[in-house]
Amino acid sequence: MSHRGRVVLEGIRFAVGVASEPSGVVTLWKNATGGKIVGCLPPTPFPELPHAAGLLPITLESPRDLSLLSGQVDAWLVGADPSTFPAPSAAIPRFAFPLVAPMSLEEALDRIEALAEWVGAVSGSPVSEGGVWKSIRAYATRRSLLDALDERLARETAFLTPEERRVIVRAGIFLPPEAHSRLLSSILGIDPESGPNPTEGEKGDPLIGLAKRLM
């Protein structure tokens, strides 16, 4: 038995399975939730919005990822600039999010509100203020755990190999942030209930806070 322990090894094995054959876990998620998959080309700066609508945003890293998820993607969130990927099917919903910086906060907010309206239409469930705050917390928690993982690796270089870290991070592409956070917590030996849960500043319209990211 490795000095890293059974739980760590099981977490690594799970991450390897997800990262190499994501279709299985995506199918399980769709069957369990009845939710839909949004393929993101390039990475969306606002995964919180599809997540808040009950969708699972998946950022495809390469054309091979597209083949691994053949038939699984229900809608596309694409950049306005040409992509190196093959053009997604025009037969399913698509939203082009401008990549050029907005000229004002008002313009940025218009873009965020348009995206929120679109993901709500795709899912059939309008995006609520509470849902967006919940999603913001979920993604912030995952970012904190990824930072904690890197801090652990800086202290203990033998804790994970570079390839093990890569597949653990890559698994998060295909998992909801809550599920990826549980995986990270188990590998780090952190109680998920005692993990970071940022709530400070949750006042007002969360869409304005997201819009400020574009500025």
Sign of torsion, CA 17 18 24 28? positive
| pLDDT on residue 70 | 78
pLDDT in tens, 25-77: 999 999 999 999 999 988 788 999 999 999 999 998 888 888 888 789 999 99
Q: Which residues contact 168 (CB under 8 A, 6 or more apart)?
A: 11, 12, 15, 149, 160, 183, 184, 187
Render pLDDT for 163-196 as a digit per residue (tens, 0 to 9): 999 999 999 999 999 999 999 999 999 876 655 5
Q: How far is CA 141 from CA 26, 51, 137, 158, 184, in A?
A: 22, 14, 6, 25, 10
Q: Answer whether residue 115 shows pLDDT above 90.
A: yes
How confident is the model at residue 2, as a pLDDT?
A: 46
* Predicted TM-score (pTM) of this structure: 0.90
Q: Do 172 and 180 touch, CB atoms closer than 8 A? A: yes
Distance between CA atoms of residues 215 and 213, nearest Å: 6
Give the residue, 82 or 73, on which the prediction is more confident.
73
Residue type, 145: L
Give the model's pLDDT for residue 122.
Answer: 97
Query: Of 110-114, 117-121, 129-133, 200-204, which gets the smallest average pLDDT?
Result: 200-204
In whole numbers, what is the pLDDT of the chain averaged over residues?
89
Higher pLDDT, 136 or 66: 136
